[in-house]
Amino acid sequence: MLAEKQRLSFADIEAQSAFELPDREMMLITVVITNVLNHLSVDVDVTNVKVAVQICAAVNAINTIIAPTNLTCKIGQ
With contact defined as beta carbons under 8 Å apart, do 53 and 73 qualify? no
Q: Is the pLDDT of residue 11 over 70?
A: yes
Per the structure, the complete domain to which residue 40 belongs is given by: 28-76
Name the domain count of the chain.
1
Q: Is residue 54, in this structure, part of any structural domain at all?
A: yes
Confidence of residue 55 (pLDDT cuts 50, 70, 90): very high
The structure's pTM equals 0.63
Query: What are the b/e assignments for 26-65, b being 16+ CB within 10 Å?
Result: eeebebebbeeeeeeeeeeebeeeeebeebbeebeeeeee
Q: Is residue 68, in this structure, part of any structural domain at all?
A: yes
Each residue's pLDDT tens digit, 16-54: 777 777 777 778 999 999 998 888 999 999 999 999 999
Q: Is the pLDDT of residue 56 over 90?
A: yes
